[in-house]
Amino acid sequence: MSEIGAIADHQQPEIDPSRRKFLTVATGATAAVGVVLAAVPFVASWAPSERARALGAPLEVDLSKLQVGQMITPIWRLSPIYIVRRDPGTIDLLPKHDNELRDPKSEHSIQPPYARNEMRARRADVLVLIGICTHLGCLPRQFFDAGDPVLGANWPGGFLCPCHGSRFDLAGRVFNGSPAPTNLSVPPYDFRGQDTLIIGSEDVATKGAA
């Protein structure tokens, strides 16, 4: 063997079989992790995003803890939804001020066909409204007590828009003299059992339009 060949053989490091095995496993594991991480966004894209749900996915609301006279305001399609548990006294007052309303029969307002009634609801005890004033889009405040000292002895209970003074009763119907041109809108909805409200289901919307 030449002197150069001897030197080359002397400088070549010995290969440790156990180290080679470790590097092979580590490289394979890193590749597998990379595949998984790359797949996560792809798989996640199958599920609807928060924005997609906000823009139209049905919203399920538990009503079991909603007491008479209370209101909750979940968000659906980026809008607040007013859900009110009405008491029998309030329901009895609804037909007694029709002559004070701009659209008492909701003929020129937005609601599913099943809510085009005096209660503007599927069930008399549960009111469901889109909580946006039909004037300029402010959020009406609740004034549920009849005869409220701010709104007068004849006030039957309902909502007052703080921006320009539009008033709505506890069916979301607008009073004469209010800047709002129409009643508060009613979204499509249905009930699953007694205490589960489903807002915005396409099936519900189709069924309501039939």
**Residues 127-136 pLDDT 10s:** 999 999 999 9
Q: Identify whether residues 117 and 147 lie together within a single domain.
A: yes
Domain that holds residue 18: 3-44
pLDDT band at 148 (very low <50, low <70, confident <90, very high): confident
Q: Identify whether residues 58 and 27 lie together within a single domain.
A: no
What is the C-alpha to C-alpha distance for residues 44 and 49, in angstroms, rounded to an integer? 9
Q: Identify whether residues 24 and 108 lie together within a single domain.
A: no
Q: Identify whether residues 156 and 133 lie together within a single domain.
A: yes
For residue 116, what is the domain's CATH number?
2.102.10.10
What is the C-alpha to C-alpha distance for residues 25 and 137, in angstroms, rounded to an integer? 62
Q: Identify whether residues 74 and 25 lie together within a single domain.
A: no
CA 200, distance to chain mean position in Å, is 9
DSSP state of 161: -
Point out the least confidently predicted range of 68-77, 102-111, 165-174, 194-203: 194-203
Q: Identify whether residues 161 and 205 lie together within a single domain.
A: yes
Task: Select from 203, 207, 185 the least CA-distant residue to 57.
Answer: 203
What is the C-alpha to C-alpha distance for residues 204 and 33, in angstroms, rounded to an integer? 44
What is the C-alpha to C-alpha distance for residues 90 and 94, in angstroms, rounded to an integer? 7
pTM for this structure?
A: 0.70
What pLDDT does 206 receive? Answer: 37
Q: Identify whether residues 24 and 123 lie together within a single domain.
A: no
